[in-house]
Amino acid sequence: MDQKDTEMNEKGVTSSSGVVVQVREKKGPLRAAIPYMPFPVAVICLFLNTFVPGLGTLVSAFTVLCGARTDLPDRHMCCVFWLNVAAAVIQMVTAIVMVGWIMSIFWGMDMVILAISDGYRDHGAPQQV
């Protein structure tokens, strides 16, 4: 075994033994409040966020009231709703200086990514990386 293999074994990232490394993203409360929506609704929200910053985020806030789940299971539905409304207002207000518009587009892309990942989870697609 050479020096590189020894260093990799110490870190627990070896390819020969098949160690699985799981990475979990730590999200802030606003980012964790993005709801898992059906794919078509997420695409509509992305479209709305692209042309009217914050509008798609505002629409997604109402999906929380309709039962869409989020990464904040310990918070009440109304609190998550208001977090999404706050994100929409921030996007609308800061769109004047382009920050809100860019944030709004990224927010919409996150909605679509969450919808895709949730769709795979619901339909039993393999979770192997």
Extents of the domains making up the chain: 27-122
**Which is it for the CA torsion 87, 90, 92, 94, positive or negative?**
negative
Predicted pLDDT of residue 1: 47
The three-point CA angle 43-45-47 to 5° equals: 70
Predicted pLDDT of residue 127: 47
Predicted pLDDT of residue 120: 61
Q: Is the entire prediction scored with pTM above 0.85?
A: no
Closest CA to 110 of 51, 25, 52: 25
Instruction: Return the biggest CA–CA distance within the chain.
Output: 58
Predicted pLDDT of residue 4: 46
Predicted pLDDT of residue 20: 81
Collect the ranges in the chain with pLDDT lower than 50. Answer: 1-14, 124-125, 127, 129
The three-point CA angle 7-8-14 to 5° equals: 155
Q: Rounded CA gap, 34 and 108, in Å? A: 9
Predicted pLDDT of residue 7: 44
